[in-house]
Structure 1
Amino acid sequence: MLKRFASEAMKPTIPVSSWIERPGSSAGQSTIVSPMNSFATREMKNLFGEKLFSFPKPVELIQAIIEQGAPEDALVMDFFAGSATTAHAVFTCNAKDGGNRRFILVQLPEEIEKTSAAYSQGFKTIADLAKERIRIAGKKILGGECHIGWKKDVGFRVLKVSTTNMKDTYYRPDSLSQQGLLDSAENVKEGRTPEDLLFQVLVDWGVDLSLPISRQEVAGKTIFFVDGDEKHMALAACFDLDIDEAFVKQLAEYEPLRVVFRDAGFASDSVKINVEQIFAQKSPNTEVKVI
């Protein structure tokens, strides 16, 4: 906030950017120029057909903040996403100037009141409402006028915070029973999907979570390729069972920077032992990981 004396504000040049404008010479005071919350409520009604969220932020207000502080390749973060106005504003800014801004929104799955209009439309949490708002806003913006240089990227990825995929260790090695050893043969928690394992690996390795991910079938096995399917991709992952040396050799032909397998996925101990040697011969720059 900048405080100025009236005499200073009357100078012809004021080298300070501000949202505070004098509405008129006779008004006697300054006002903050920003759309009202009622305007934001109308925006929500235009998207969903009725009022589903109390006190949303106006898209135009967040757009103005982004335009002043975020260049065309900026990463915009909002730790209180609410109805996802920030994502809507980022899309709007990119469509306007052709930028490639990205966003990270964080929202707890706060439950919506069962008597509300949002709940009657099938939204159980605020996070559910935010995700749908991003989808609808993206489609609406794509249907309007867009900068000729804009990539028209309105996609987004939803991630949820959870515990590790690996089973917890409760006993010291010398206190384990035979049955305990058998139960520990599978080190991944029940109910965890290959996608769960993949994103844990991405986090552990510090790989950008927004990179493109493709799924392909090779020799009857499912492989996740991160950052395209060309040579020198960021990562290749296979969490299937019964992995043999023939399959490992095929995978090595892709020469990924990193490759990851499931510890219990190898057909035999000899295959597990030979994996690093196979990649050392066929793709020496590949880092091998087993979880």
Structure 2
Amino acid sequence: MTASAKGMEGRVILVTGSTGGIGLETARELVKRGAQVTIAGRNAQKTAQVAQEIGAAGTLIADLSELSQVQRAAEEFAQRSGRLDVLVNNAGALLNTRQETREGIEMTWALNHLSPFLLTRELLPLLQRGTMPRVVTVSSGAHAMGRIRFDDPEFRRGYSGWLAYAQSKLANILFTRELARREPWLHANTLHPGMVATGFGSHQGGAFSQVYRLVDRFSLTPVQGAQTTIHLAADPVDVTGRYFVKSSVATPQPQALDDGAALRLWNLSETQVDDVLRGRIPGRTWPDILAEVRRVTGA
């Protein structure tokens, strides 16, 4: 066992988006190092197969784009485990057309940002009971093109799949910075995994898919792309609220260092997730609702 692998025996870890790509390779390596890894996925059969293949301690089945399922998954995990040592927020998507979840939230914003925000918030009590607790959130160098559209984070106007993705990856970094500020006992860091050949975006169809299939030919393997995530989950890391590239601290773009924006984003995110969980319609004003009613009824 290498020096970096020491101390992982018995550590309780939850990895989202772990049935393929860098999430799978992260989970696989952490299991090899002796951790008790629970993998989260949408498809029960596939998730069970992957868990058996890598020797995971358990599975958590949920569609993490739906916040009610995120909350249920956190409750289910809490019922099973008395603590959590490491949470790896890895699940994400890039969509070339605007889609909404069944809860009425734009899919990229829901899955890439609100989901890890809520999951982390709900699991904080378990993390407080953990040993050297950590939250690792997979961001991207795409944050460089991101801006938080506080007046329209769901891109109801002028949707761009790439800009929605870039915004969500910027949100990952800002969320992590504010989390580290609020919870100084917790090591919370984020990372850019590199351009990884995981088929990410290749299922979208048309020119979008063709570009991603071409990019994949020149990208890192999932094993290579998982290394920074594994480093932050398993190796000695004495900083918090930082952004990592190639397993080293890096400086993100200036908009990712705006602590005022981080606080504003936190407050916006809390409002959105709480509205959804209370059955409200997020992001829609009464004029929006009336316009939708008129469109549907023809009134």
Sort the TM-score into its range (normalised by shorter chain).
under 0.3
* Higher percent of residues as helix: 2
- TM normalised by structure 1 equals 0.28
